[in-house]
Structure 1
């Protein structure tokens, strides 16, 4: 093979690429033409902003009215509300506590039920000791009273103070502990 022939073979792929590149623009001109047409035809429409309303400051004129931020007024109102609403739930703190009132409810587990002389009892385990609980009995640290004992749960009505100091009622439940969960 001659030297010119070798050079031609080396340059053949480069020449083929140049010929193919020159054949078309890849559709770029069509896209540019379309974009110019859309840009020319599109008219943006922006709604004008509404007119600003003038600000009219409120002039406070006490004119002998009570001070709205007075601590005395606030304390008086809180005492009046506490007397009107919170006293109906206030527990008797002077009575002696029962044994189960010394334990929080979350330390108690219901492990079963039994019936004696027509009275339904729940068996409650605290640590390793088991206690019998019936409706009407006091339980828990929040002045709780057992309202109902069923085969699956103990229903309790507790009385506690909220953030404002009012005594409010809330319902609590201790459900039967399933021994299958622990593998016992």
Structure 2
């Protein structure tokens, strides 16, 4: 077997370490043997019986001819869809990026106009600039832009007052200098 240059010091350290550990052991094991004999000679204590487990009554749910308790029935779904007062946001509409922010966090910084069309320029808290027009949505309360003026925009929000009851509310955002 070829010798490796760094192997001899490792074996020397391991041999010295094992010699130190074995020299620390007490060669007189009489006290330990006496203790073990005393433990073995003791009478074993009584073992308590395992407590009786009462039988569990089982219930089998038979879903035949019953409605699923985790889904709405048709009437409840229709009421939830349209709201109790007929107002409700469209759940199939894709959310727009500015709906992730509250109105207080957004700033109107300008307007653009071309060919009788007007856009508002909105900045987000992270500094991104967005161009919006009438019909776009912004804010967390389903706010739809209904009018853009040179110095402000007006929107109609749908706020859920109680579960299933939506209230329309007017809001505006003024141009910030």
Q: Give the Cα separation in 1 of the matches to 2:114 and 2:153.
A: 17
Q: Give the Cα separation in 2 of the matches to 1:142 and 1:150.
A: 21
Match of 1:29 in 2: none
- Structure 2: stretches of 5+ with no match in the other structure: 1-75
Partner SS for 1:92: coil
Tell me by how many angstroms 1:142 deviates: 1.0
Say if 1:172 and 1:124 are closer, same or farther in 2 by CA, change over 3 A.
Answer: same
Partner SS for 1:151: coil
Tell me by how many angstroms 1:164 deviates: 5.9
Higher Rg: 1
1:94 to 83, 92, 95: 92
Partner SS for 1:162: strand
Tell me by how many angstroms 1:95 deviates: 2.1
Match of 1:139 in 2: 138
Tell me by how many angstroms 1:125 deviates: 0.9
Q: Give the Cα separation in 2 of the matches to 1:167 and 1:146.
A: 18
Provide TM-score, normalisation by structure 2: 0.50
Residue-by-residue CA offset, 1:39-71 (whole Å, 9 max, x unaligned): xxxxxxxxxxxxxxxxxxxxxxxxxxxxxxxxx
1:8-157 mapped onto 2 (5 Å cutoff): 86-127=84-125, 128-157=127-156
- Structure 1: stretches of 5+ with no match in the other structure: 1-78, 179-184
Question: Is the CA contact 1:102–1:141 (under 8 Å) kept in the aligned structure 2?
Answer: yes
Question: Is the CA contact 1:101–1:143 (under 8 Å) kept in the aligned structure 2?
Answer: yes
Aligned residues: 98
Say if 1:108 and 1:94 are closer, same or farther in 2 by CA, change over 3 A.
Answer: same
Any runs of at least 4 consecutive aligned residues in structure 1 with deviations exceeding 4 A, and if so which?
A: 82-85
Question: Is the CA contact 1:86–1:168 (under 8 Å) kept in the aligned structure 2?
Answer: no
Question: Is the CA contact 2:83–2:164 (under 8 Å) kept in the aligned structure 1?
Answer: no
Q: Which has the higher helix share?
A: 1
Provide TM-score, normalisation by structure 1: 0.48
Tell me by how many angstroms 1:163 deviates: 3.7
Tell me by how many angstroms 1:143 deviates: 1.1
Partner SS for 2:84: helix
Residue-by-residue CA offset, 1:1-59 (whole Å, 9 max, x unaligned): xxxxxxxxxxxxxxxxxxxxxxxxxxxxxxxxxxxxxxxxxxxxxxxxxxxxxxxxxxx
Tell me by how many angstroms 1:85 deviates: 7.2
